[in-house]
Amino acid sequence: MSSDVAASYDALPYPAFAFWFTHPNQLAVMATLFGLDPARPQRCRVLEIGCAVGGNLLPMAAAAPHSRFVGVDVSGVQIDLARAVADELGLDNVALVHADLREFDPALGPFDYIIAHGVFSWVGDDVRAALLDLCRDRLAPDGVAYVSYNALPGWHTAGVVRDLMRLHTEPFEDPAAKVEQALAIVEWLAERAERAGEDWRAGFLKAELDNARSLPGTTALHEYLAPDNQAFYLQGFLDLCNAHGLSYLSDAKPWDMWIDNFGSNIAETLGPVPGIIRQAQYLDFVTHRRFRQTLLRRNIDALGRRIDTAVVEGLFVQASIRDEPGLAGIATGAPVKVANPNRAPIEVAGVVPRVALHLLHRGGRRALSFQALFDAVIGELDVLGLGAGRTETPEQRQAVRKELSRGLLRLFFGELVSFCVDPPPLALAVAERPRTGAFQRWQARHGDAVTNLWHEHIPLGDAARAVLARLDGSLDHAALAALHPDPIDETLDALLRGGLLLE
């Protein structure tokens, strides 16, 4: 990895950010669904390649004191910043290593989970090869590697914008000036294309400009102006992985794997395409996909692609939706469209799945075991007067159990619910003396966003910051109310809904 790459991150460190889809809980869920027996997230070994300032790794370490974490980065400045936070918080289960991954200490490992987010596309061929070899050599037998990369065909158009940015910013030395000028030249060209009326470039230039503007300046610099930026078709990426002894397990995000999410016409057309990889490659053309997050495993033996719904019964589940899905028309099992916070609405059909989603939403951010949810669904069916023919005999209840596991699987791939292996110990209600984690208190004291107990990035307002920073369980509501003029009950309720209060 060139000294220029290290220097760029030393000069402008990557912003601290957590990514839920890289968390061992999410990787363990996907591995479990597709036939592996992964390590439990609360007792595992994790390596993050390109850990930057620790924004993704350190909250994992804080939340899993019995697990071991290693972060490696080529930027000494970023590693020093991460070490300072780890030392201040007394995190003794994490090691932060300043090193080129081509010279990674062979004594470290094996690892149950290896995370490489925002690395693969932005390094040279030799470093990419070293990364894949490291994954093959250091993964445990049922281990999972997460690798993200810029994808084709989407980066064909994004690459045009990148080339223009690099051409225009070549004379500038200051990183901030580079970002400012990069945005300015794309805006200039986008305005010219838009004025031309029917110029086909106007749409993609505007979309790329909006994307670049949405990124922090440091991210825009490393994304568009880095010397290395190689995009891959899915099939080409997996051919490379196979050559290094790794094979496809799944996508990191469940939505991307369920073809029905993209509409009936696409599902009907691409459904007959043989093979999950070939089908996904077609879908990337349909969606003009520009970024992928792929989970890999060692080439040991073949995995079946059909999910056994009984596996769901060993997982915990929580609602991912914000709005109450409602029970209108539930007696007939009529399908309803349920809003998805980050995706298109999903149609939910059937009495049992709809009742389950209703109960999960009512339970807030705390996850339920499958058995607890099943018991609650049986009880709710009786309360709603829908138990006849469903809850009266063991055979009927077993049929409900099977319908629940199948329904939850569809809700999971529609990202209306989340599965987990080791759920965080979240509060069901606001306690008299509420508390959050030490890492979250530290984040509230030092910035305007935190990582919640589901490893999600949560922006904070002034009231939430003031209160969260003091939630160590020692202050009651009256004392907390004195910290900010906003109503304390509203602030605490928001923190509860945000997955930030511990039981």
Q: Over range 313-325, report the average pLDDT.
A: 94
Tens-digit pLDDT profile for residues 406-445: 999 999 999 999 999 999 999 999 999 999 999 999 999 9
- At residue 3, does pLDDT exceed 70? no
From CA 149, how far away is CA 233, in angstroms rounded? 10
Query: Taking 70 as the threshold, does the pLDDT of residue 115 lie above it?
Result: yes
Q: Which two tokens stand for residue 434?
A: 């509420």
More confident residue, 226 or 380: 380
Q: List helix spans (H) across 139-248.
A: 154-169, 175-195, 201-214, 217-224, 234-243
pLDDT average, residue stretch 118-143? 96
Mapped onto helix, strand or coil, the DSSP state of residue 71 is strand
* Tokens matching residue 344: 């298109």
> And the tokens for 75?
């930027």
Measured between alpha carbons, how far is 142 from 32 in angstroms, rounded to an integer?
10
DSSP helix/strand/coil, 249: strand
Q: Give me the percent of the chain exceeding a pLDDT of 70.
A: 98
Residue 478 confidence (pLDDT): 96
pLDDT at residue 15 in the model: 84
Element (DSSP H or E) covering residue 49: strand 45-49
Rounded (to 5) percent helix, strand, coil in the chain? 50, 15, 35
Alpha-carbon span 119 to 463, nearest angstrom: 36
The confidence band for 1, taking pLDDT boundaries of 50, 70 and 90, is low
Confidence of residue 63 (pLDDT cuts 50, 70, 90): very high
Would you give the DSSP letter of residue 232?
B
CB 367 within 8 A of CB 412: no
Q: What is the pLDDT of residue 205?
A: 82
**Tens-digit pLDDT profile for residues 448-501:** 999 999 999 999 999 999 999 999 999 999 999 999 999 999 999 999 999 999
CA distances from 313 to 225, 362, 408, 444, 448 (A): 47, 20, 10, 37, 38
pLDDT digits (tens, 9 = 90+) for 484-497: 999 999 999 999 99
The sign of the CA dihedral 464, 466, 467, 470 is positive
| DSSP H/E element including 240 | helix 234-243
In this structure, of 57-71, 164-178, 377-391, the range with the lowest mean pLDDT score is 164-178
CB burial of 178-192 (b: ≥16 within 10 Å; e: otherwise) equals bbebbbeebeebbee
Q: What is the pLDDT of residues 287-309, one digit of tens each?
A: 999 999 999 999 877 666 789 99
> Please, how many CA atoms are within 13 Å of residue 25, restricted to the half-sphere of its CB?
23
**Could you tell me what percent of the chain has a pLDDT over 90?**
76
Q: Give 222's pLDDT tier (boundaries 50, 70, 90).
A: confident
Q: What is the mean pLDDT of the chain?
A: 93
The answer to whether residues 288 and 154 touch, using CB atoms and an 8 Å cutoff, is: yes
Q: Is 316 helix (H, G, I), strand (E, B) or coil?
A: strand
Buried b (16+ CB within 10 A) or exposed e, 384-393: eebbeebbee
Question: How does pLDDT run across 329-343, given as a tens digit for each residue?
Answer: 898 878 999 988 888
pTM across the whole model? 0.94
Contact call for residues 50 and 58 (beta carbons, < 8 A): no
Lowest mean pLDDT, pick from 53-57, 82-86, 299-303: 299-303
d(CA 302, CA 298): 10
pLDDT of residue 295: 98
The Cα–Cα gap between 275 and 305 comes to 9
Higher pLDDT, 11 or 256: 256
According to the 3-state scheme, what is the secondary structure of 250-311?
A: EECCHHHHCHHHHCHHHHHHHCCCCCHHHHHHHHHHHHCCCEEEEEEEECCCCCCCCCCHHH
How much is the pLDDT for 214? Answer: 85
Determine the Cα angle at 316 with ends 311 and 321, to 5°: 115
Tokens representing 92 are 């003794």
Closest alpha carbon to 373 in 350, 356, 389: 356
Q: How far apart are CA 148 and CA 300, in angstroms?
A: 22
Cα torsion at 225, 226, 232, 238 (round to 10°)? -160
pLDDT digits (tens, 9 = 90+) for 159-215: 999 999 999 999 998 888 988 999 999 888 888 877 766 777 778 788 888 888 888
At 260-282, the pLDDT tens digits run 999 889 999 999 999 899 999 99
CA distance 469 to 485: 16
Q: Which two tokens stand for residue 11?
A: 């000069």
Cα 222 to Cα 216: distance, rounded to the nearest angstrom: 10
Residues 12-28 pLDDT 10s: 787 889 999 999 999 99
